[in-house]
Amino acid sequence: MPFTPFHLGPGVLFKAVGGRHFSFMVFGGAQVLMDIEPLVRIYRQDPFLHGPTHSVLGAFGIGAVAGVLGKPIGETLLRWSGIAHAPLTWPVSFLSAFIGTYSHIVLDGVMHRDMMPLWPLAGGNPLLGVIPVEALHLFCLACGVLGGLILARGPLRQLLKP
């Protein structure tokens, strides 16, 4: 499914671990860019949904685009929101974008039969069914909960202060 929120679970954990070295916003933007192709194919009623974008090569191209767009768009949104934040640097933008696109093809690869991660070098999907889809969803959910707990640590401690 395009724009599945499950991709964001690991993103929350990456943010909790990476702190100011990881942009959840650029990561999220990369998820949206990755799933434009499947969305267009759904509307066109194509026989398959995951084409070149869902490959190692495609993830590089989309990661590069997300990295270039991520910094200016992310900075603008953060400025509008008025939220205090660390500067969104180019390395952070590109790192977050590539983590976004490559984690995307790994997670999607486990569950989508029509994916060809090694296109154009090889067909087929070696990631398919590596773990059951239910376990994949549980993993993504657990990442989100764990990351959320780590991120909430500071504010929670403040709340619980006598």
Select 35 or 66, whichever has its Cβ closest to Zn ion: 35
Can residue 108 be called a binding residue for Zn ion (CB under 5 A)? yes
Spell out the residues 6+ positions from residue 11 whose beta carbon is closer than 8 angstroms to its own. Answer: 24, 27, 28, 31, 100, 103, 147
Select 96 or 101, whichever has its Cβ closest to Zn ion: 101
Using a 10 angstrom Cβ sphere, with 0-12 exposed, 13-18 middle and 19 or more buried, the burial of residue 82 is exposed
Can residue 37 be called a binding residue for Zn ion (CB under 5 A)? no
What's 117's DSSP letter?
T
The amino acid present at 134, given as its one-letter code, is: E
Q: Which range of residues in 18-26, 106-114, 142-150, 153-161 is near Zn ion by CB under 5 A? A: 106-114
Q: 33, 35, 67, 98: which one contacts Zn ion (CB under 5 A)?
A: 35
The amino acid present at 140, given as its one-letter code, is: C
Q: Minimum distance from CB of 64 to Zn ion (Å)?
A: 17
**Residues in touch with Zn ion (CB under 5 A):** 35, 108
